[in-house]
Structures are given as structure tokens and as C-alpha cells.
């Protein structure tokens, strides 16, 4: 196995700092902004088609996928040619987790083709969504790169531009903060973080309008890479940010340390939007609003993963995401109240209801068939189909029947922080198991950016908020019969950063697991205190 690309540390650029009043001096072709905007706006008409006919678009897509893959090994095994309806499809193909399809993926990584998708698959996204030791290698076909991930990137800009007619996004560059892994070659196939794969396959115009340069964006060592990004970008005209909120926050604080400025707009005065995803943004919102003190600044959320790009915020100042229905992904959903993993019964898009927690199942142009991606969502609207991400099928706590999900935890923390004028940097929660003379409970490890004056009052507010948003939790807390009051450990500054660094998981798409049915994460963190 060998590293395919050398990482280069770029020297500091000599470009003078761009002033907002002198943009034309540094942008010799100002019409580029209008030209690119016009090109991207054209896509809006195709979006309107699936908004008007969502079920038809999805059904047509399903049978196109089946027809395309009918002569693959999987297509012949499940007789794709004989499937004539969604009910046939659901009855014929099993719902699958990664462990079930791993043998096929390993064969494909070793050079076999036409197993689950007819075109050659050379790219594999090494999953980094959790701190689990075992990696997943998600197949990424050329069709998935072009018609899903790249298409979504253009749509993200299209929707933003259509909502903000006076945007000057393309007078400058977008600062991208991707994963920390380079691309590696193994048996003539390539693997790495999805963000690295996307950067490798970017069209020239997208790479031209992005910073840092590809050599820096693909650097492996996270802390060296951060310094290189700062050196390259502090004198650029940055108009947008793209990346995971937790790691972008680290970068922005280091930019201020490096420049000595009071806020990010003093460094990049034409910054107008942050495209974010990967983790819930609400715990970070207040910190961003202080770093970027402008009421006109926009935040746009996206929902993408190694398995595909699924949804994009399509309105200003919204917390809903538009489910994108023409990216080569057919969707099914499992109500979490009846979730049984691979033995679950899924429903198609037209049968979903608002405010029900669903596990997401996808069939994709990357060769994934009825695959459980591990995420949960709720529909906030069904005309058009808009969603909110609620968590992970594994990242919840249900040791005592309390069914605590990430959405509950985030909402309760928001309430407690607002009422105590505190601010959280990171957290995780695990169970306290019942012993002979003690009740069960939940143990929280919280790293505050600004701690509350009274942790006992904060704990009480958190507990009451959890009761208010989760009736199962409330029932288990009644008179302390099953669950005791939550226990909160105040983490030292930098604890979660050090924990991720110890595991080699700094940067990019790596995230702290919020909820777990085991005590592993809590105990590892407490050990580092």
C-alpha cells in the first residue's frame, strides 16, 4: 500500500490584503460572478420538477437503477429484471448493514468488478463518522461522484444564489476545510476521506474558486495542515466557508490568533455565507455569531455522507433541509418505534408522516441496495419533502427504556445554556448502570466554552428539559424510580480535542459520539482528565 500523492507545505503568499472597496482591482473579470451565477441558476428548473412530482421521480429512479444493474452479480442473484413494482423490490431484496455487504466490497477493492454496479468502481470512501476502530469502505462510482456529490455541490450554490440575488460569492473564493486523509492506492483502487475524493475529482472551475490549493487541502497531518491553510488564506478574498462546524471553529479561532483581529470579518470583509454539515449546528451558533458579527451573514446546512448527498437547506434562515430526489438515490424509511435493524419493515417516500423518527435506507448509483446508513430523520413537511436530522440509529441511550436521542439532548442543552448564559464546546453521554443498591442514570461529560455559575442549577434545567421533550425519559425519572438525576462532569479545556488526537481522528468529518448505550467513551474521556 502506498501514498499516491505527496503533500506540499505552501509558502505564505505575497498577495496584498483585499479591501472591500477595491474589489475590482483584484478581480480583473468581474463578469465571472454574474456568469457563474447565471449558469448555476439554470438548475433550479430541474429542482422544481422533483418538487412537483416527487413520487414519480423516485419511482422512475428506482427502476432506472434496477435496469442499469440487472446484469451484475447482485442483479442476477435477485432477478432485477423480474421486479416490476416497489412491493416486488421490497419483498425481494433484504435490508442490509455494512457487515452484510462487506465481503462484496472487499472483492471489489481487490479488483473484481460488476458485482453490485456495472461501471468500474475505483474509489472507496473510508468512513470516519464515528470513533469506532473499524473502518468502512463505501464504494463511490463515477456516477455517484458526478450525478450525486458534484451535482449537490452545484445545487447548494444554486439554491443559495436563487435566494440571494445580490450575492457576490464569486468575486472571491470559498474556504474549504475537508478531511485530513490523503488518497491511498491499494490493488489499483483508491481510498480516503470522502472530502479528499471530491477534491481529487473537482472540475477546474470549482478548484479555481476554492482555497486552499489542492496540495494543502489534501495534507494528512491535521495540525500542520491548519497552519498551511491559514498561511494561504488570510490574504485571500474569502467569501464563503465550507466544512464541519466543530473543526471550522478551531480554524477560525486560530485565524484570529494569527492575525490579531477581533473578528473574522476584519480578516475577510466580504464573507457572506457558511455552508456547514456533519453535526448539529445549534450548539455552535452563538460562537459563530460572535466570530462573524453580521446580521446579514447566512448559514446554509447540508446533509451529506460517504454513502451520498441527501439534502440541502433551500431557504434563508431555516432549520429544514430539502430532500434531494434526483441524485441517483432511492429512499426508504423505517419508523424507529418498530426498528429491528436488518429485520425491519421499510416504507417508501409517499408513506412517510411528519414528526415521526425514521431510520434512513438508501438504494444508490454507487451500488448500495437497501442499505441502512445509520442516520435518523424527521419530516417537517411533505409538500415538498423537508427533513431535520435527529441522530444515529446507534447513537442513542435506551438502557432503561428512555429512548433518548440526539435531538432530545441538543434541545435540552440549548434550553439549559440559554437560561444559565453558558456555552458548550463538546459533550458526550453514557449510561450509569444499576447496581444492587443504586438506581441507573446518565453520566454527561461536558466541555464548556463558558461554564454556568451553578452546575447543579444547570443539571436541574437539563433534566427538566429532557422530561419536557421525551415522555419516555420523563416516565423513567418519575419519583427517581428508575433513573436518578443526571450526573455532569465538567471537562477540562481541550479534553475532547486531546481524546480525538490520541485516536488519530483530528479534523474533517471526524465527530465526537454524543450518545451511547455503553460507558466506553465516557470512561476513556475521564481517564484523560
**What is the secondary structure of 440-453 as a DSSP string?**
BEEEEEEEEEE--S
Q: In whole angstroms, what is the distance from residue 67 CA to residue 335 CA? A: 29
Lowest mean pLDDT among 17-21, 202-206, 413-417: 17-21
pLDDT level of residue 437 (50, 70, 90 thresholds): low
- Tell me: the pLDDT tens digits for 54-95? 999 999 999 999 999 999 999 999 999 999 999 999 999 999
CB neighbours of 515 closer than 8 A, spacing ≥ 6? 391, 395, 396, 397, 404, 405, 406, 409, 428, 429, 430
Q: What is the pLDDT of residue 279?
A: 74
The average pLDDT across 403-414 equals: 88
Q: What is the pLDDT of residue 17?
A: 35
Q: What is the pLDDT of residue 508?
A: 60
Q: What is the pLDDT of residue 198?
A: 85
Q: What is the pLDDT of residue 208?
A: 75
Mean of the per-residue pLDDT values for the chain?
86
Lowest mean pLDDT among 145-154, 384-393, 474-483: 474-483
Higher pLDDT, 413 or 198: 413
Return the DSSP state at 498: H
Residue 393 has pLDDT above 60, yes or no: yes
| Longest distance between any two alpha carbons in the chain, whole Å | 75
pLDDT level of residue 510 (50, 70, 90 thresholds): low
| SS3 (DSSP) at 315 | coil
Contact 445, 522 (CB under 8 A): yes
Residue 5 has pLDDT above 60, yes or no: no
Q: In whole angstroms, what is the distance from residue 323 CA to residue 313 CA? A: 9
pLDDT level of residue 412 (50, 70, 90 thresholds): very high
pLDDT level of residue 434 (50, 70, 90 thresholds): confident
pLDDT level of residue 49 (50, 70, 90 thresholds): confident
**Cis amide linkage into residue 221, ω under 30° from 0:** no
Higher pLDDT, 36 or 6: 36
Evaluate the CA torsion angle 416, 312, 51, 376 in order and state its sign.
negative
Q: What is the pLDDT of residue 516?
A: 86
Q: What is the pLDDT of residue 489?
A: 95
The average pLDDT across 379-389 equals: 96
Q: What is the pLDDT of residue 188?
A: 75
- Tell me: the pLDDT tens digits for 312-371? 999 999 999 999 999 999 999 999 889 889 999 999 999 999 999 999 999 999 999 999
Residue 290 CB coordination number (10 Å): 11
Whole-model pTM: value is: 0.77
Q: What is the pLDDT of residue 8?
A: 30
Q: Where are the alpha helices (DSSP H) in 382-446?
A: 406-420
pLDDT level of residue 178 (50, 70, 90 thresholds): confident
Give the domain 406-528 fold.
GMP Synthetase; Chain A, domain 3 (3.30.300)
Residue 346: half-sphere exposure toward Cβ, Cα within 13 Å: 27
Residue 252 has pLDDT above 80, yes or no: yes
Burial state string for 202-239 with b = 16 or more CB within 10 A and e = fewer than 16: beeebbebbbbbeebbbbbebeebbebbbbbbbbbbbb
Residue 258 has pLDDT above 90, yes or no: yes
Contact 447, 426 (CB under 8 A): yes
Q: Percent of the chain scored above 90 by pLDDT?
A: 57
Q: What is the pLDDT of residue 426?
A: 93
| SS3 (DSSP) at 20 | helix
CB neighbours of 32 closer than 8 A, spacing ≥ 6? 170
Q: Measure Cα distances from 462 to 308, 361, 444 in Å.
A: 35, 32, 11
Q: Percent of the chain scored above 70 by pLDDT?
A: 88
Burial state string for 164-182 with b = 16 or more CB within 10 A and e = fewer than 16: beebbbbbbbbbbbbbbbb
- Tell me: the pLDDT tens digits for 97-149? 999 999 999 999 999 999 999 999 999 998 754 434 357 899 999 999 999 99
pLDDT level of residue 311 (50, 70, 90 thresholds): very high
Each domain of the chain, given as residue ranges in start order, spans 2-20+32-48+142-328, 54-140, 406-528
- Tell me: the pLDDT tens digits for 216-237? 887 878 788 889 999 999 999 9
Calculate the dihedral angle through the C-alpha atoms of 39, 42, 46, 47, rounding to the nearest 10 degrees. Answer: 90
pLDDT level of residue 280 (50, 70, 90 thresholds): confident
The average pLDDT across 12-37 equals: 43
Q: What does DSSP say about strands 273-276 and 238-243: parallel, antiparallel, or unpaired?
A: parallel
Q: In 3D, which of 425, 421, 496, 426 has the Cα closest to residue 458?
A: 421
Q: What is the pLDDT of residue 247?
A: 82
Unique residue bearing C-alpha cell 436530522: 389
Q: What is the pLDDT of residue 202?
A: 77
Residue 32 has pLDDT above 80, yes or no: no
Unique residue bearing C-alpha cell 453535526: 279
Residue 298 CB coordination number (10 Å): 17
pLDDT level of residue 36 (50, 70, 90 thresholds): low
Q: What is the pLDDT of residue 29?
A: 44
Q: In 3D, which of 374, 378, 454 has the Cα closest to residue 410?
A: 378
Amino acid at each position: 500500500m502506498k501514498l499516491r500523492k505527496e503533500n506540499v507545505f505552501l509558502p505564505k503568499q505575497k498577495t496584498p490584503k483585499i479591501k472591500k472597496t477595491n474589489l475590482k482591482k483584484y478581480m480583473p473579470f468581474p463578469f465571472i460572478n454574474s456568469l457563474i451565477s447565471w449558469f448555476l441558476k439554470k438548475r433550479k428548473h430541474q429542482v422544481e420538477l422533483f418538487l412537483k412530482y416527487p413520487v414519480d421521480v423516485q419511482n422512475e429512479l428506482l427502476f432506472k437503477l434496477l435496469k442499469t444493474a440487472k446484469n451484475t452479480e447482485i442483479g442476477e442473484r435477485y432477478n432485477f429484471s423480474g421486479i416490476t413494482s416497489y412491493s416486488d423490490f421490497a419483498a425481494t431484496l433484504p435490508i442490509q448493514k455494512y457487515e452484510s455487504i462487506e465481503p462484496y466490497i472487499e472483492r471489489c477493492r481487490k479488483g473484481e468488478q460488476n458485482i453490485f454496479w456495472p461501471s468500474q468502481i475505483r474509489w472507496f470512501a473510508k468512513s470516519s463518522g464515528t470513533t469506532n476502530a473499524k473502518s468502512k469502505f463505501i464504494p463511490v462510482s463515477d456516477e455517484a461522484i458526478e450525478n450525486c456529490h458534484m451535482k449537490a455541490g452545484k445545487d447548494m450554490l444554486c439554491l443559495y444564489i436563487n435566494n440571494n440575488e445580490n450575492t457576490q460569492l464569486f468575486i472571491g473564493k470559498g474556504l474549504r476545510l475537508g478531511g485530513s486523509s490523503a488518497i491511498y492506492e491499494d490493488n489499483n483502487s483508491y481510498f480516503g476521506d470522502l472530502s479528499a475524493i471530491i477534491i481529487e475529482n473537482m472540475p477546474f472551475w470549482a478548484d479555481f474558486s476554492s482555497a486552499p490549493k489542492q496540495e494543502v487541502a489534501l495534507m494528512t497531518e491535521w495540525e500542520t495542515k491548519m497552519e498551511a491553510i491559514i498561511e494561504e488564506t488570510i490574504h485571500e478574498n474569502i467569501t464563503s466557508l465550507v466544512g464541519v462546524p466543530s473543526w471550522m471553529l478551531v480554524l477560525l479561532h486560530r485565524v484570529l490568533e494569527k492575525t490579531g483581529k477581533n473578528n473574522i470579518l476584519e480578516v475577510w470583509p466580504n464573507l457572506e455565507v457558511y455552508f456547514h454539515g456533519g453535526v448539529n449546528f445549534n450548539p455552535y451558533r452563538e460562537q459563530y455569531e460572535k466570530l462573524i458579527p453580521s446580521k446579514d451573514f447566512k448559514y446554509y446546512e447540508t446533509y451529506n455522507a460517504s454513502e451520498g448527498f441527501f439534502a440541502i437547506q433551500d431557504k434563508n434562515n431555516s432549520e429544514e433541509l430539502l430532500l434531494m430526489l434526483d441524485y441517483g438515490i432511492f429512499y426508504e424509511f423505517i419508523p424507529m418505534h418498530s426498528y429491528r435493524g436488518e429485520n425491519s419493515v421499510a416504507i417508501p417516500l409517499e408513506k412517510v408522516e411528519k414528526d415521526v423518527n425514521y431510520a434512513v435506507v438508501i438504494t444508490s448509483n454507487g451500488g448500495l441496495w437497501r442499505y441502512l446508513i445509520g442516520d435518523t430523520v424527521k419530516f417537517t413537511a411533505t409538500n415538498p419533502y423537508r427533513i431535520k436530522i435527529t441522530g444515529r440509529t446507534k447513537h442513542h441511550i435506551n438502557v432503561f427504556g428512555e429512548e433518548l436521542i440526539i435531538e432530545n439532548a441538543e434541545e435540552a442543552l440549548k434550553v439549559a445554556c440559554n437560561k444559565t448564559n453558558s456555552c458548550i464546546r463538546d459533550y458526550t453521554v453514557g449510561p450509569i448502570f444499576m447496581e444492587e443498591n443504586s438506581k441507573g442514570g446518565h453520566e454527561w461529560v461536558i466541555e464548556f466554552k463558558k461554564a454556568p455559575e451553578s452546575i447543579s442549577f444547570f443539571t436541574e434545567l437539563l433534566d427538566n428539559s429532557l422530561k419536557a421533550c421525551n415522555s419516555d425519559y420523563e416516565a423513567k425519572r418519575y419519583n427517581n424510580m428508575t433513573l436518578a438525576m443526571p450526573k455532569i462532569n465538567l471537562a477540562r479545556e481541550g479534553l475532547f480535542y486531546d481524546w480525538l488526537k490520541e485516536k488519530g481522528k483530528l479534523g474533517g468529518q471526524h465527530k465526537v459520539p454524543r450518545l451511547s448505550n455503553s460507558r466506553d467513551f465516557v470512561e476513556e474521556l475521564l481517564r484523560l482528565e
